[in-house]
Homo-oligomer: A and B are copies of this chain.
Amino acid sequence: MIDYRLLQALSAVLEEGGFERAAHHLFLTQSAVSQRIKQLEAQLGQPVLVRSTPPRATSVGQRLYNHMQQVQQLEAELGLSGAPDNMTIRMTVNADSLATWLPAALVLPEHDTLRFNISVDDQAVGLRQMKQGEVMACLCASAERLNGGSVVPLGKMRYRALASPEFILRHRLHLQDGEVAAENGSPVHRERLAQAPCLVFNRDDPLQHWFLAEVANTEPRRIHLCPSSEGFVQSALAGLGYGLMPELQIYQHLSTGRLRDIVPGYVLDTPLYWHHWQTESQVMVALRQSIVSEAARHLYPLVDPG
């Protein structure tokens, strides 16, 4: 049997980001925490922590941390007094969900000792973090099931290509008088679309490139990288560039006319999936159900009926 006092020290060092804060958290001296980590490493014959600032888990350290979390969840569900009040759900989600519909799904009144540790990243990173045990679940655009995992389809998030009216006018992004909307736009119009400054969330954000490829068979030449959901919208409102934004986030600006479609009628839907491990604890079941039902209220169905 594993000595869980040692794993508790390991968890505290990782969660608190250091030996001193871990000691404070556990009501121990710093040297007692350090002793426990060393004892754990002696038993295993290998290090569990990289002594960086903050300390990071080695591969085996991460597996132990993950195991500790599962044990704590199971303990919490026993409902005994003395069950840990620091059960933490670590998950990686896409930025646009966190900026719109997701937070309401995280309010679980029956599990009110729960804590969330949310990371924002794209699908490639999120699923890798899940495999490595760094997060317990992942909300992303990939339907590819992890070995031992389950995937729940949530719906489609609808994006529109938007800019401020002044921006559209200045860069003449709407078809001008006399221009014919040929397939993929007229060459002149296509060139204006390619030249217009384009907002991109980060290097992994393909939406703007997909948009331009589809409507004008070209790619953006001038890109601003703006890795913030709200900063992205504010940058569009200010006229810094155009970009693809979730309808859920900007319906208000559409209704006031502060943002307008660049290509009226164009929408881009991206699917969203919830990835979790097959052995779900009660609280993970409750979270999944809450996420599925909140998603159904806000996202478009993944498969069109009919």
List residues of chain A with CB under 8 Å of any chain B CB.
17, 54, 85-86, 95, 98-100, 102-104, 106-107, 112-113, 115-120, 197, 203, 221-231, 234-235, 237-240, 249
Contact assessment for A238 and B103 in the assembled complex, using a CB-CB cutoff below 8 Å: yes
Contact assessment for A106 and B235 in the assembled complex, using a CB-CB cutoff below 8 Å: yes
A240 to B: closest C-beta gap in Å: 5
The complex places the Cα of A117 from the Cα of B240 at a distance, in Å, of 13
A104 to B: closest C-beta gap in Å: 4
Q: Closest B residue to A235 by CB, please name it.
A: B103
What would 24 A/B residue contacts be, using CB atoms closer than 8 Å?
A54-B203, A85-B222, A95-B228, A99-B230, A99-B234, A102-B231, A102-B234, A103-B231, A103-B235, A103-B237, A103-B238, A103-B240, A104-B238, A106-B238, A107-B240, A115-B197, A115-B224, A116-B224, A117-B224, A118-B226, A118-B227, A119-B227, A120-B228, A228-B230
Partner pick for A226 among B98, B113, B231, CB 8 A cutoff: B98
Contact assessment for A230 and B227 in the assembled complex, using a CB-CB cutoff below 8 Å: no
The complex places the Cα of A86 from the Cα of B86 at a distance, in Å, of 49
Contact assessment for A17 and B203 in the assembled complex, using a CB-CB cutoff below 8 Å: yes
A276 to B: closest C-beta gap in Å: 19
